[in-house]
Amino acid sequence: MSEQVLVEARGGVLEVTINRPEQRNAMTKAAAQAIAAAMDQLDADADLRCAILSGAGGTFCAGMDLKGFLRGELPVDERGGFGGITTWTPKKPVIAAVDGYALAGGMELAFACDLIVAHEDAKFGIPEVKRGLVAAGGGAVQLPRMLPRPLAMELALTGDPIGARRAHELGLVNRLSRGPALETARELAETLVANGPLAIIATKGIVRDSWLWPVEDINTYQNPYIAHIFTSEDAKEGARAFAEKRKPEWKGE
């Protein structure tokens, strides 16, 4: 694993930290590949239920490392795209813990995660147009799917940032934090870890993929995601635990 990305497992949660604080965690190819490798670790380890992606030194990610770009380097992973996860997602949930700035590719990286926790003073934006570039890591595509088109167009064409409070009002951010975003993200992760792991994976897959499904074929498309859930040991354990008024003991089976 690259020293540009720190990885630690804590209580079923894989904490992945971009570790280039002096460069405001600007993304490099090595960091993108390290994040992609961490996501593979998340999916491969049955004891891990979700991940938190954050940045060291009070900033999430200021986007692409422009010095690397001028050298001909693109901060992408072959499968995962910018930052290792913008064109591919692990089957388990990923929470973005955003402090400081999530700009350009940094905002796209946060949007690639499934949930976003942000410090109340954090800033989000895709300023690529100010540099003669395009938010091609998902920003120009995802914003109009998450916001009314005029709002998405304004953010994309002006390149101006918005604060975390406004992002929260618009539904772009799940939770605001007065302290370090990582602390609130850990609280949210604890809630996910307490739930059935098979159900979490299936539910994430449905929420992520179902917007492409024709309405008349929803059940047909959904069935492969859930066919094994209702006959699983976890489903039986969940019912027993509810009846016995205790916490379930998940096996992931």
Q: Which domains does the chain have, with CATH numbers?
A: 5-193 (3.90.226.10), 197-243 (1.10.12)
The mean pLDDT value for 8-23 works out to: 96
Query: Catalytic residue among 8, 73, 108, 249, which?
Result: 108
Residue appearing with tokens 């993108």: 32
Please give the share of the chain, as a percent, with pLDDT higher than 90.
89
pLDDT at 57: 96
Higher-confidence position of 131 and 20: 20
From 179, 207, 195, select the one nearest 235 (Cα to Cα): 195
Please give the share of the chain, as a percent, with pLDDT higher than 70.
99
pLDDT in tens, 30-59: 999 999 999 999 999 999 999 999 999 999
Q: How far apart are CA 144 and CA 162, in angstroms?
A: 16
Q: How far apart are CA 147 and CA 166, in angstroms?
A: 12
* Banded model confidence at residue 1, pLDDT cuts 50, 70, 90: low
pLDDT in tens, 191-219: 999 999 999 999 999 999 998 899 999 99
Asked whether residue 8 carries a pLDDT value surpassing 60, the answer given is yes
* Main-chain dihedrals φ then ψ at residue 7, nearest 5 degrees: -130, 130
Query: Catalytic residue among 3, 15, 120, 128, which?
Result: 128
Cβ atoms of 31 and 4 closer than 8 Å: yes
The mean pLDDT value for 226-239 works out to: 92
Cβ atoms of 84 and 16 closer than 8 Å: no
Respond yes or no: is residue 108 known to be catalytic: yes
Asked whether residue 2 carries a pLDDT value surpassing 80, the answer given is no
Asked whether residue 132 carries a pLDDT value surpassing 70, the answer given is yes
Q: If you ran DSSP here, which 8-state letter would residue 209 be given?
A: H
From 82, 100, 99, select the one nearest 140 (Cα to Cα): 82
* Banded model confidence at residue 106, pLDDT cuts 50, 70, 90: very high
Q: How far apart are CA 60 and CA 138, in angstroms?
A: 17
Asked whether residue 253 carries a pLDDT value surpassing 90, the answer given is no
pLDDT at 212: 87
Q: What residue spans of the chain are helical by DSSP H?
A: 29-44, 66-70, 105-112, 139-146, 149-158, 164-169, 181-193, 197-209, 218-226, 233-243
pLDDT at 185: 98
This prediction's pTM: 0.94
The CA–CA distances, whole Å, from 163 to 118, 158, 160 equal: 10, 15, 10
pLDDT at 67: 84
What percent of the chain is helix, strand and coil (3-state, nearest 5)?
A: 45, 20, 35
* Banded model confidence at residue 79, pLDDT cuts 50, 70, 90: very high
Q: If you ran DSSP here, which 8-state letter would residue 61 be given?
A: B
